[in-house]
Amino acid sequence: MKHNEILKAALSEIAKDEGQKTGAIKLLDAFGNAAGLMLAANPAFAVVKGLLGLAKTVSAALKNTSDIDKINLDDLFVETVDEKLKKRGIDDDKIKRILEA
Amino acid sequence: MKKTMATAWIFLFPALLFMVSACATTNKAKQGAMISQQIYEEVSNTVVEQITEIVKAADAGTITSVQRKTLADLSEFKKILNKYAEAHNTYITALKIAETSSTKTNDVGKQARELAIMSSQIIDYCDKLGIKLP
């Protein structure tokens, strides 16, 4: 099944009033299984490895509801890409200079 | 790398829809926020690594025309990611308020919807850049 078809099926599942979580988990498991099969066929396919990793991450997050109460919201804030790059000494001016060189 | 990013957003989109539909319940909203954070970190770290690698190549004088084009694309893409990060953080702030005041739950839903719309725009942006799914 192509990704767009999987996504469409998943969105249909998630849009239902009941079983939203079940639908999401089914989708992610399907992605994980598909990625696993592709990975076995072509271990060098980096995109599939990324896909498999994401499927596991998201699927685990959806399934692991027991510790939700313990989540500290302050730990969920993120840094912008610019902030991350700044820590590496890279800013927009540097990127602009490279692009214009 | 681009395909991985596109794939990541394909994951994020249903996750955000899940978050929007679940935002009335704080625990589910937290779960959605956690997923949003995890996938944003995956994508943004990939972008940061790639930009760093190309900048190093430029500093060493070995940058190729393909890398320069990729850097231009990444530079545009990071603007959207920056906006997403800000929207995500606003969502977390709204969630923090919702935890202490039941009258503020509409703010959480509104922000979650904005995140979902933004993720849709990112998928469109990937399409415009010719980033295809495998």
pLDDT beyond 70 at A10: no
Residue at B100 is within a domain = yes
Can you give the pTM of this predicted structure? 0.61
Q: Quick check: A62 and B85 CB within 8 A?
A: no
The closest CB to that of A10, out of B14, B38, B92, belongs to B14
Range of the domain at B34: 2-128
Tell me, what's the pLDDT at B82?
A: 87
| B133 confidence band (pLDDT: 50, 70, 90) | very low
Backbone angles phi, psi at A94, to 5 degrees: -65, -45
Tokens standing for residue A35: 């990625």
Residue at B134 is within a domain = no
Q: pLDDT per residue over B34-73, tens digit each?
A: 777 777 787 788 789 889 999 999 999 999 998 898 888 8
| B77 confidence band (pLDDT: 50, 70, 90) | confident
Question: How many independent structural domains does chain B possess?
Answer: 1
Torsion of CA B75, A51, A55, B6, to 10 degrees: 40
Range of the domain at A61: 3-100
Chain Cα centroid distance, residue A69: 22
Q: Quick check: B78 and A79 CB within 8 A?
A: no
The CATH number assigned to the domain holding B89 equals: 1.20.120
pLDDT beyond 70 at B13: no
Question: How many independent structural domains does chain A possess?
Answer: 1
pLDDT beyond 70 at A41: no
The closest CB to that of A73, out of B31, B55, B95, belongs to B95
Backbone angles phi, psi at A87, to 5 degrees: -65, -20
pLDDT beyond 50 at B25: no
pLDDT beyond 80 at B89: yes
Tell me, what's the pLDDT at A32?
A: 52
**Cα-based distances in Å from B102 to A73, A101, B19, B51, B86:** 17, 55, 18, 43, 24
Residue at B133 is within a domain = no
Q: Quick check: A65 and B31 CB within 8 A?
A: yes
Average pLDDT over residues B114-118: 61
Residue at B67 is within a domain = yes
What ipTM was predicted for this assembly? Answer: 0.71
d(CA A71, CA A99): 42
* Amino acid occupying residue B63: I
